[in-house]
Structure 1
Amino acid sequence: MKQRRLGTREVGAIGFGAMSFGGMFGPTDEATSLACLDAAADAGITHLDTADIYGMGLSEEIIGKWGRRDIHLATKCGILNGPPRTVRNDEAYIRKCLEQSLRRLKRDHVELYYIHRRQPDIPVEDLAGTMARLVQEGKLGGYGLSEVSPSTLRRAHAEHPVTAVQNEFSLWTRLPQLGLIQACRELGVAFVAFSPLGRGMFGRAPLKRDFRTGIDFRDTNPRFIEPNFSANLAAVAPFRALCAERGWTVAGAALAWVLAQGDHIIPIPGTRTADHLRDWLGAELDAADIAEIERLLPAGFAHGDRYGDHQMAFVERYC
């Protein structure tokens, strides 16, 4: 696999998001998750991303049991599910969460630690100072921010260099192209794209409306409820036809498009099973391919918002 820079390390251009190990998109089990991690490593994936909230620590526990030490590992803290859903960025809380994550991961440090969402009433400079102290203490290789604006990134980076920003970015979520991807490039910060496959919309087969009520959050996500869901399936169908015509997997082409948007971008697709990993690799796009994909799926084509209102509360909006 081709390599890209993430902090001081070179990692595989495609990383792995381990949210699904927490059971948030469907049933899973430890053995299946461990086999999936083995397959990811065999495919050349060397950057792994998780968070304390994924399965309320379950994803981290599985990665800790896997035990690989040659993987560049990131985890996150800052979201409290509640109710009500809220965030915390104070130093005491961050330190407590980090220690709990390290215990589950069976590590004494982590290469990258994100603040999952920013707490608006704590100056980002104070937050950056907290993260800088944890870096100096050897607990973190670097720190990152998630779902932030370019202005927040610049303020934090001026206090202590930011390693990575993780925001949603895919063919149907294009907001980061309005300033954030450019700011990351300018500052030498990696842009880590989560949900690059549209939470399954750009998977092997068209999705069905069989999401688990109360568990799979797509069941109430605006893009996955009717009439938006059917409209989105119809909008993506010509892209699926193009992939079949060109011999690409749908996931492989969607990831190749993300990778083509900048050499500092690292997508982190996720899956519950090793079987889907092979769909991620192999698509090579030229300029004409990219133009045709963007003709079929122009910026803003998606029907519905990417989050419900309750999930947008601490997402920074800047356009």
Structure 2
Amino acid sequence: MKTITLGASGPQVSQFGIGAMSFAGIYGDATFAESHAVLDACRAAGATHIDTSNVYGMGRSEEIIGDWFKQRPGARADMVLATKAGIARGNERPRNNDPDYLEACLDESLTRLGVDHVDLFYIHRYDAAHSPEDVAGTLKRLIDAGKTRAVGFSEIAPSTLRRAWTECPIAAVQSEYSLSTRAPELGLSQACAELGTTLVAFSPVGRSFLTDAPFSHARAQSHAFLANNPRFMEPNYSANITATDRFRRLAADMELPAAALAIAWVISRGEHVLPIPGTKNTAHLAELLRGTEVTLTAEDLDRIEAVLPVGWAHGDRYSDVQWQGPERFS
């Protein structure tokens, strides 16, 4: 498994991580046993990065990971662990970056995870009630307190990253990035590369569209997030299936699972890019991991671009409600 440096001067981390929202998130919950099997397979493959959040299952994802660490002595030392805070569920204020709130959330996460620190702590959603510089100052104090080794932001604009960097090195920025969502190429990926910040790509297989078994329309409608997501609503859903059928045929021609080809493409975007797909199924994980073994040639990239050119996806990646929190930029 190829490794990269997390941030400008952080630990070595595999250029592939597991997004633990799938253990307890918008696509339903996994059992402790299913989740532990995925984590075991990641560890065996040399995938050393685990990404979670305090809001995934309202702490359940962190509890699952904490139980895995407890049952496997030595596993914590092998892994680079990240969690997030800043979304205030069930609160009139949906985003909260107040210093006391963030530290309290992190303390609760540490308890659920059964650790005394994490390797990376993110602002899950930036709260514009504070300046980027002030939030970065809060994050620096958490580093100084020994509760996290590095810090990051999720779903921010390049300008916010640059401002935050003036107060504290930002090791990672998390953003949706895949063949179906290429907005990070409009300045965010470039800013990350310039500053030495790792771009952590979530949903790198397009919320299943870039796999051999995309969610059926019926299944998508059974999940509240997807049921209201423009790309999974008709007529966009059918158009997106038709478009990605071309990608599935290309992957088959290259003798690869579609998910592997999608992961290989994200990795090809640069040494600073780290995909974190999520799954609760070890067979699907094996397909995803296969992508780390593939080095795409210029010809391969041209073939991919021909079947899924920039802007192919039908529908915005979020609805108006889902856009409340992430920063737009162009």
Q: Shorter-chain TM-score: what band? A: over 0.9
Q: Which residue of 1 aligns with 2:72?
A: none
- Pair 1:150 & 2:158 matched: yes
Between the aligned partners of 1:283 and 1:227, the Cα distance in structure 2 is 34
Structure 1 runs (4+) deviating above 6 angstroms are none
1:2-13 to structure 2, matched below 5 A, reads 2-7=2-7, 8-13=10-15
**Aligned with 1:303: secondary structure?**
coil
Residue by residue, what CA displacement relative to the aligned partner does 1:25-75 show, whole Å, maximum 9, x if unpaired? 134211111111101111211011000110000000000000031210000
Separation in 1, partners of 2:259, 2:139: 35
Q: Which moved more, 1:84-93 or 1:296-305?
A: 84-93
The reply to whether residue 291 of structure 1 matches residue 309 of structure 2 is no
Indicate conservation of the 8 Å contact 1:248/1:283, yes or no.
no
Quote the Cα distance in structure 1 between the aligned partners of 2:138 and 2:91: 27
Q: Percent identity?
A: 50
Q: Which of 48, 51, 60 lines up with 2:50 in the alignment?
A: 48
Q: Deviations over 1:219-246 (max 9, x none)?
A: 2211011110000000111111011011
Pick aligned residue for 1:302 from 313, 321, 324:
313
**What is the distance in 2 between the residues matched to 1:159 and 1:167?**
21
Report how far residue 84 of structure 1 moved. 5.6
Match of 2:322 in 1: 311
Residue in structure 2 matched with residue 270 of structure 1 by the alignment: 278
CA contact (8 A) 2:220 2:232 kept: no
Aligned to 1:17: 19
Match of 2:226 among 218, 227, 247: 218
Tell whether the 8 Å contact from 2:125 to 2:325 is kept in structure 1 after alignment.
yes
Please tell me the residue identity of whatever aligns with 1:190. T
Matched letter for residue 44 of structure 1:
G
- Which stretches in structure 1 are left out of the alignment for 5+ residues? none
When structure 1 is superposed on structure 2, of 93-102 and 198-207 the one drifting more is 198-207
Residues 169 and 194, structure 1, Cα contact 8 Å, conserved in 2 = yes
Judged with a 3 Å threshold, the aligned counterparts in structure 2 of structure 1 residues 90 and 151 are, in CA distance, closer, same or farther, namely same
Counterparts of 2:204 and 2:92, CA distance in 1: 28
Q: Distance in 1 between matches of 2:211 and 2:51?
A: 20
Is 2:193 the partner of 1:180? no
Match of 1:60 in 2: 62
Question: Residues 62 and 307 of structure 1: is their aligned pair in 2 closer, same or farther, counting only changes over 3 Å?
Answer: same
In structure 2, distance between residues paired with 1:249 and 1:284: 14
CA distance in 1, matches of 2:194, 2:205: 26
Q: Is the 2:36–2:68 contact (alpha carbons within 8 Å) kept by the matching residues of 1? A: yes
User: RMSD between aligned alpha carbons?
Assistant: 1.4
| Residue 208 of structure 1, aligned match among 212, 216, 223 | 216
Q: Distance in 1 between matches of 2:146 and 2:4?
A: 24
Give the paired residue count. 319
Whether 1:191 aligns to 2:199 is yes
Please tell me the residue identity of whatever aligns with 2:123.
I
Q: What is the TM-score of this pair, normalised by structure 2?
A: 0.94
Counterpart residue number, 2:83: 75
Gaps of 5+ in 2: 70-74
The letter for the 2-side match of 1:283 is V
Q: Does 1:117 align with 2:125?
A: yes
Query: What is the match of residue 90 of structure 1?
Result: 98
Specify the SS of the correspondent of 1:161.
coil
Pair 44,204 (structure 1): closer, same or farther in 2 beyond 3 Å: farther
